[in-house]
């Protein structure tokens, strides 16, 4: 039995993970879960999977423990940020699914890394923020880091099994082709983008996801965060990554080799595939995903991203190149701007403006100290809040 902790069990990735586990219940046990909002859903999860631990916010802990008892669950509640770190590092847990959204996932994910767990990484923001620090900790603590972001999982599947042991040049790898759907506003002009609403932005054409990543997909910041994520996961530079818009989301990314071969991973757009792949790796388990019908999916098309209408991709690339704390500042500003857009406080096109102002007004420092990084995250947060106040 492999014992699993799911950080962010009530979210979209959490939901897909629980579905795959339920289909393979003879091999996997849900040992611990966390939830932040929608705790009635977390209660249902506890009733169904009977985990040993559940982490909830401090102010909900007593009430939630009572509800568990009333429902006949023996699940023990752990509270707040500390509770999340307990889930991620408790010795009984073999594998941690990092599926909290945003910077809130950094400390619990790092706790799993420092406990040397097998980590299924969905929470790209954690890696974007802390880059070198995160990857160094993976090495030091011999954690096993497996990407479940669909693009990175696809690249992982198209690389040689021991890719991390030698340089890409030695392995004849020329570049990574990171695919993007283009989001709901692909082909829209800058002018048309001025008036888009949160409801339009979260209606992704191919994937059903949480609100924040849906807006990130619409601005192309998701691809920017993924570019940075790929640089750290695969130890490459942005010039070795080409972003290709592929609106059908059937190819999930590719690796291009020196001899002209391009290896791709294909499948229906369903996160249960990369989750099942990483849960069982190097084995394969059923994921409940329909087999790909190539005849029905018809044409697969490709185009260049429109970086003028969607400046977030370029901002992310520049932040990675600036290095140090820049990606953490980018991430913090983006989180604040996306939340403000979802609450109708700023326009869609003001999201990149807020991010670029935060970066322009900040000095970039080395990012080798976690405390300092967290304080910079908070500072950028506050700066983004005040920029938004001045805008309106």
- For binding to ligand NAD (CB under 6 A), which residues are involved? 8-14, 35-37, 99-101, 104, 122-125, 149, 207, 209-210, 213, 271
What is the nearest approach in angstroms of ligand NAD to the Cβ of residue 216?
Answer: 7
Q: Which is nearer to ligand NAD, 81 or 258 (CB)?
A: 81
d(CA 120, CA 17): 10
93 contacts which partner out of ligand NAD, Mg ion, none, CB within 5 to 8 A by kind? none
- Name the closest residue to ligand NAD (Cβ): 11
Determine if 29 is a binding residue for Mg ion (CB under 5 A): no
**Between 14 and 224, whose beta carbon lies closer to ligand NAD?**
14
Q: Which is nearer to ligand NAD, 101 or 158 (CB)?
A: 101
CB under 5 A: which stretch of 7-15, 147-155, 245-253, 349-357 binds Mg ion? 147-155
Give me the 90-109 binding string for Mg ion, x by CB under 5 A, dash otherwise.
--------------------
Contacted by 97, from Mg ion, ligand NAD, none: CB < 5 to 8 Å by type: none
How far apart are CB 100 and ligand NAD at their closest, in Å?
4
- Cβ(76)–Cβ(53) under 8 Å? yes
**What values do phi and psi take at 37, rounded to 5?**
-115, -175
Whole-number Å distance between alpha carbons of 45 and 67 = 13
Scanning 24-90, the segments in alpha helix (DSSP H) are: 39-49, 61-70, 80-89
Q: How far apart are the first and last CA of the chain?
A: 54
Binding mask 309-348 for Mg ion (x = CB under 5 A): ----------------------------------------
Indicate if the alpha-carbon torsion angle 68, 104, 15, 17 is positive or negative. Answer: negative
- Torsion sign, CA atoms 99, 101, 102, 107: negative
Query: Which residue in 29, 60, 125, 149 binds Mg ion (CB under 5 A)?
Result: 149
Q: Select from 16-24, 146-154, 332-340, 354-362 the region that touches Mg ion (CB under 5 A).
A: 146-154
The count of chain residues that interact with Mg ion, using the rule CB under 5 A, is 3
- Identify what 275 binds: Mg ion, ligand NAD, none; CB under 5 to 8 Å per kind: none
From Mg ion, ligand NAD, none, interface partner of 125 (C-beta below 5 to 8 A by class)? ligand NAD
CB of 338 to ligand NAD, least distance (A): 11
Q: Which is nearer to Mg ion, 73 or 154 (CB)?
A: 154
The option from ligand NAD, Mg ion, none interacting with 181 (CB < 5 to 8 A, set by class) reads none
Instruction: Decide which of Mg ion, ligand NAD, none touches 123; Cβ closer than 5 to 8 Å per partner kind.
Output: ligand NAD
Q: Which is nearer to ligand NAD, 147 or 311 (CB)?
A: 147
User: Rounded to an integer, what distance in angstroms lies between the CA atom of residue 81 and that of residue 36?
Assistant: 11
Is residue 376 part of the contact set for Mg ion (CB under 5 A)? no
Binding of residue 125 to Mg ion (CB under 5 A) = no
Q: Which residues pair with 6 in a beta bridge?
A: 33, 97
Question: Which string of b and e fits 78-93 if b means at least 16 CB within 10 Å?
Answer: bbeeebbbbbbbbeeb
Which residues, 6 or more positions from 196, have their beta carbon under 8 angstroms from its beta carbon? Answer: 185, 188, 218, 348
In the chain, count H helices and then E strands. Answer: 17, 11
By C-alpha distance, which of 43, 51, 87 is closest to 67? 43
Closest CA to 153 of 234, 208, 80, 46: 234
Q: What's the token pair of residue 162?
A: 């021991």
CB of 347 to Mg ion, least distance (A): 25
Residue closer to ligand NAD (CB basis): 179 or 357: 179
Rounded to the nearest whole angstrom, what is the least distance from the CB of residue 13 to Mg ion in the complex?
11
Q: Are 383 and 361 in contact (CB under 8 A)?
A: yes
Q: Are 344 and 295 in contact (CB under 8 A)?
A: no
If contact means CB under 5 to 8 A according to the sort of partner, which of Mg ion, ligand NAD, none does residue 8 touch? Answer: ligand NAD
Best CA proximity match to 86, nearest among 57, 108, 60: 108
Q: Is 229 in the site for Mg ion (CB under 5 A)?
A: no
With H, G, I as helix, E, B as strand and everything else as coil, classify residue 218.
helix
Contacting positions for Mg ion (CB under 5 A): 149-151
């Amino acid at each position: 039995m492999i014992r699993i902790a799911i950080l962010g069990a009530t979210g979209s990735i959490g939901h897909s993970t629980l579905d795959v586990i339920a289909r393979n219940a003879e091999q996997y046990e849900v040992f611990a879960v966390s939830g932040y909002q929608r705790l009635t859903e977390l209660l249902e999860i506890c009733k169904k999977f009977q985990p040993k631990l559940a982490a909830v916010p401090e102010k909900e802990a007593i009430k939630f423990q009572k509800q568990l008892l009333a429902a006949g669950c023996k699940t023990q509640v752990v509270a707040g940020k500390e509770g999340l770190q307990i889930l991620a590092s408790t010795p009984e847990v073999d594998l941690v699914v990092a599926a909290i959204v945003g910077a809130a996932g950094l400390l619990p994910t790092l706790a799993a890394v420092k406990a040397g767990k097998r980590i299924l990484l969905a929470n790209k923001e954690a890696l974007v923020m802390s880059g070198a620090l995160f990857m160094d900790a993976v090495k030091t603590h011999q954690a096993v880091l497996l990407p479940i972001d669909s693009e990175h999982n696809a690249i992982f599947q198209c690389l040689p099994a021991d890719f991390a042991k030698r340089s890409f040049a030695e392995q004849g790898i020329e570049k990574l082709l990171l695919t993007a759907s283009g989001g709901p506003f692909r082909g829209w002009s800058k002018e048309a983008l001025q008036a888009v609403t949160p409801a339009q932005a979260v209606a992704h054409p191919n994937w059903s996801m949480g609100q924040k990543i849906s807006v990130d997909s619409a601005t192309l910041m998701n691809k920017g965060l993924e570019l940075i994520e790929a640089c750290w996961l695969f130890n490459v530079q942005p010039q070795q990554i080409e972003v290709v818009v592929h609106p059908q989301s059937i190819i999930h990314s590719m690796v291009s080799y020196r001899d002209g071969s391009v290896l791709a991973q294909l499948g229906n757009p369903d996160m249960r595939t990369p989750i099942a792949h990483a849960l069982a790796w190097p084995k394969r388990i059923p994921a409940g995903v329909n087999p790909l019908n190539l005849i029905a999916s018809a044409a697969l098309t490709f185009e260049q991203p429109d970086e003028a209408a969607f400046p977030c991709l370029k901002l992310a690339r520049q932040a990675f190149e600036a290095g140090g704390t820049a990606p953490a500042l980018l991430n913090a500003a983006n989180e604040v701007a996306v939340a403000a857009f979802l609450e109708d406080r700023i326009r869609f096109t003001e999201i990149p403006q807020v991010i670029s102002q935060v970066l322009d007004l900040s000095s970039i420092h080395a990012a080798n100290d976690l405390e300092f990084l967290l304080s910079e995250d908070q500072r950028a947060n506050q700066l983004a809040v005040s920029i938004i106040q001045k805008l309106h």
